[in-house]
Structure 1
């Protein structure tokens, strides 16, 4: 039996109580030591788990410089990219023992790092070896700033924890945008929903007894449920939204739609561990399959094609480099599937000669097929943050201030963090299970009664551009985070306790591009989201700011506001949000716009004449044996978090590929 003092620690949720008990029982140093031991123990266990390893390419590929290597080994399917979609594909396709599958990943396995399973730890991976450290080009409509654009392996993908579909009408629109092509109707929600549920392994929770488990998936590999931290601030936000006119929605992911407010379901298992498609789909049993090979730390540089007279070019191999820079070729007998994400998939297509002909010719890349849609139509969810001083001094609000970012070491803060690690390691609960955006509200910016409560009068309905996919679909996401941050939690934030309110534009009309910076595969592409380039996007975000201001001053959320924040002169705090003019809000929005990590639609599924890159079966136009399977195929961005739809796309793609190969 654990001592009463230790059992008290394990049940704590707030910083003051934790600090008091640790000090009263003189457990601060022992608890910190135990935290360090727990980290080392978790790390040792993670190293024992069977995980994908860096492969000796000579076993299955030919060295292009020396000609040495296995030139006889052909794989039926070569998957490029071991991220969200690639892991799903590799697992599902290798279920058929007659198919040989090769998965190529530029990064390393996330499972080697125990921190990758801790929900709150994702900022630790920004600007690290796990991050491509990408930036946008200077944004013309956002102060000419280059915006950090985190991209990398699943290890740090911050919003992979959100289990959210978007609106059912989003997928109906996907089908409509296919122009009546064969297979288009299978993307409608009533059909596609089977794949959304296929990956689910829903765990019910005493905290959410009203969720109808009968409409949730129960046999999939991805555990999901309500096991994330819900802070006191998040609970206050939920009540404030209700007073502001936003109704409670028990489950955002049903045919009824996603409008309303609640804590969000997550990909966090009952033990508090963050779930990724690697951990869920590439289990030790899957990795032991004889027909599946997984190679990490290999960079694919281009897809190779065989051209025969009178026939379309066919993808037959990929060129790649290992960690030492040596070039290899591996052959694909049946198909190559690109799953490198909305940034790197179009880059790889263009490097392979598929894309806008004039752009490729500028870099002396031989054109295989002229596809202007490659790298075009980039859509992303822009996010705006507003900051407030928190007089409740919650544990997570304290994390806003990290002394290390000021070049200082704070012993007490470090010991405190280790104490939280102990709580997490022993219980799977506590502040370290936060997903940061702990409470969400999905609303329509054209909801006149809701806006009237915030003092906003809409213009003539005929003058409002509605970019949503239906009357029950949102175009704004409002959320509370129990901490505040700058530059994706990488910037130095002032000392003190702070929380944040945020808005996300779910249906932007600003469209950007991905373009090559050179013909060198190691050279990052040019990312230009064109944030806030349309009047519509700015107007919707101004309305969203008005809604947040109204929510902020509803009790009990208003009780969190520290009055001292009103006299702040740093320009970071926004206690005067309600009194700002539209012009002042627009300036603030343009200054603070950031990505929320949801780029899509750069190799979109649409008719060729509409700028499409792939057909409803995800086959690349103009060539044979090449498909794309990741968020780049989204015809338009969904009105919510994009991970769940991406997993479902991969589930559907696996079925389509197997059916095609068997026919």
Structure 2
């Protein structure tokens, strides 16, 4: 019973209510039964850590997840159905505060609240990102041991790649074949294959068969995905928390366990020492507090929003922010919740296409039934499409736009590092896909994404109540140099060239000029693209921009405790027995999709822990 995900996680808790002052616990508390490692958050990092650490049968691991089990959630299994999880019980359903640069709009941030975290909820983009991204972590941010060459072995060890004879040949040496995480190529539309790919080449973006090598990601490609041979999502939960792993007697998984704070002993040790966590069952309306104790370490893997929120609730953060809220200070860490960066999509470019070439009809429950039956019987067909089926990565400084007065500066991570990604999808992708195409119409979306923002934001507490969503303020387009806006404008103009290309136009219908930002159609005709001013593009961006929800950096890794939250072993500065592993530790934004990097980093950290890089003397030695 204790080996499987439980609807009621109290089975795993020390059976007592909270006792003692908020942050001072007697050493005797640690004599209670506990686990060697308590991992908070079963997302990309938490699933990998729990799986790898529990390989040692003498090590006990408890994995706590605020959401539910992933195993019977159809919308998580069927690749193209992931949008149905948005705003559901499986989504934290976050929103930013109003963004002044985007017409004072609040932007929606979906985040996975389910085993697998956002890997059970997002588009299944398998991407290592650019080699120079990680080398920049080392050369600029001092994160020795986390360069590209350090992580490549873990990318390979995680992956089980399935070649596709109808796709370009991929060098086997660049792919993993024996790992747990299934990757490969999903269903691809004709528009993506014969429209977008050659159109990009026409405007000077070369084709690249494999973006996951040390050669970099520049070029246009058929995107590799984490969809398995059965046509199902291969999340970090399905890959690393398999039925066999869940049956390990030393691994315990608690679902519906909302961790409310980390517990510290501040009396019997010179440095605040982590002894466990406190949580509430989301199935219990009384919200009683229960404790779980860790013999060696607590590892926070809640993501770039939940991890800093939990640190702040636990008294690790800026004292001047926590004291007014009445949070007792455990360690005054100025960087917690700071350095937030995200990938902003200025506006989707929606092109009117022949409906027979698009997948908009799948939004209809009735019209989608044949495709669903095909998926159930054969694990194939359009429902195995990843939405983001093809993409182009480019450096905006490589393009010249005489019609623009704002050329961008180069803030990429290096000569092979892009600053814009153009994601193409054979359906309407407005407001995260929530706004469907008009009945009977077909659409093709190009979603430009700004990969290397200079603007930085914050995560902060709204109150001491752990159930209040934190204040998310990414401060989009707030960089003093205004370069974020310049890069975005250049990326939009590349899109305008693509939709005018011969390969692209044969699939699409010109739409009359429309200067209304509320219109879903772009002001497109073959004769006026160069006449669209920067001001008009900015108007559309303010009304239509959304996020690709890749937040990072809020518990940043680095060698300087005054500027970072964790050291190079991901140990939290100023306390003992506490680590962080998720996208919050990224020292700088990467130029692509973060799922694979998070998994590889968690794999590497598990190996470091196994090899004896623990937080110090076991707690029992202090008793």
**TM-score, normalised on structure 1?**
0.85
Q: Matches of 2:577 and 2:269 in 1, distance apart?
A: 16
Aligned to 1:35: none
Q: 5 Å matches for 1:463-502?
A: 464-491=408-435, 493-495=437-439, 496-502=441-447
Would the alpha carbon gap of residues 160 and 549 (structure 1) be closer, same or farther in structure 2, given more than 3 Å must change? closer
Structure 2 counterpart of 1:200, from 159, 163, 179? 159
Residue 231 to residue 372, structure 1, CA distance change in 2 (3 Å): farther
User: Which one of 244, 257, 264 corresponds to residue 223 of structure 2?
Assistant: 264
Per-residue displacement from partner, 1:296-342 (whole Å, max 9, x unpaired)?
A: 00110000111246621110111010120221011101000000000
Q: Deviations over 1:82-124 (max 9, x none)?
A: 1111010000000011211000000011112122111100111
Task: Please tell me whether residue 232 in structure 1 is matched to residue 183 in structure 2.
Answer: no
Q: Where do residues 261-660 of structure 1 align in structure 2 (5 Å cutoff)?
A: 261-308=220-267, 311-322=270-281, 323-324=283-284, 325-394=287-356, 396-399=358-361, 402=363, 413-447=364-398, 451-452=399-400, 455=402, 464-491=408-435, 493-495=437-439, 496-534=441-479, 535-566=482-513, 571-576=519-524, 578-608=530-560, 611-660=563-612
- Give me the CA root mean square deviation: 2.3
Structure with greater helix percent: 1
Partner of 1:647, secondary structure, is helix
Return the TM-score normalized by structure 2.
0.90
Query: Aligned to 1:172, which of 135, 139, 144?
Result: 135
Q: Where do 5+ consecutive residues of structure 1 fail to align?
A: 1-49, 403-412
Q: CA deviation at 1:57?
A: 1.6
SS at structure 1 position matched to 2:520? coil
Out of 154-163 and 465-474, give the one that drifted further: 154-163
- Tell me, in whole angstroms, the C-alpha distance in 2 between the residues paired with 1:554 and 1:446: 21
Worse-superposed segment, 100-109 or 308-317:
308-317
Q: CA deviation at 1:608?
A: 2.9
Relative distance call for 1:585 and 1:458 in structure 2 (3 A) is closer
DSSP-derived class of the 2:555 partner: coil
Report the CA distance between 1:465 and its aligned residue.
2.9
Task: Write the distance in 2 (CA, Å) between the matches of 1:88 and 1:160.
Answer: 19
Among candidates 56, 77, 93, match of residue 117 of structure 1: 77
* Cα-to-partner distance string for 1:246-282 (whole Å, 9 max, x where unaligned): 1111100001111000111100112211110100000
Matched position secondary structure for 1:345: helix
Equivalent in the alignment of 1:104: 64
The equivalent residue for 1:210 is: 169
| 1:48-77 alpha-carbon deviations (Å, 9 max, x no partner) | xx962224524542321699x998321110
1:195 Cα offset (Å) = 1.4
Question: How many residues end up aligned between the 2 structures?
Answer: 591
The alignment status of 1:54 with 2:7, answered yes or no, reads yes
Q: CA deviation at 1:494?
A: 3.2
Rounded to whole Å, the distance in 2 between the matches of 1:187 and 1:479 is 28
2: CA distance, partners of 1:147 / 1:573? 21
Q: Is the 8 A contact 1:388 1:561 kept in 2?
A: no
Q: CA offsets per residue over residues 344-382 of structure 1, 9 Å max, x none?
A: 000000000000110010111011111110000101000
**1:578/1:128 CA distance change after superposition, 3 Å:** farther
Cα separation, 2, equivalents of 1:530 and 1:198: 37
Mapped partners of 2:475, 2:498: distance in 1? 30
Is the deviation greater in 356-365 or in 303-312?
303-312
In the alignment, what sits opposite 2:204? 245
Shift of 1:129: 1.1
Contact 2:336–2:555 (8 Å) recurs in 1: yes
1:62/1:71 contact within 8 Å kept:
no
CA distance in 1, matches of 2:471, 2:269: 35
Give a deviation string over 1:394-413, Cα, whole Å, max 9, x none.
3534348x5xxxxxxxxxx4
- The structural deviation recorded for 1:609 is 5.0
Residue 30 of structure 1 is matched in structure 2 by none
Instruction: Name stretches of at least 5 consecutive residues in structure 2 with no aligned partner.
Output: 21-28, 617-623
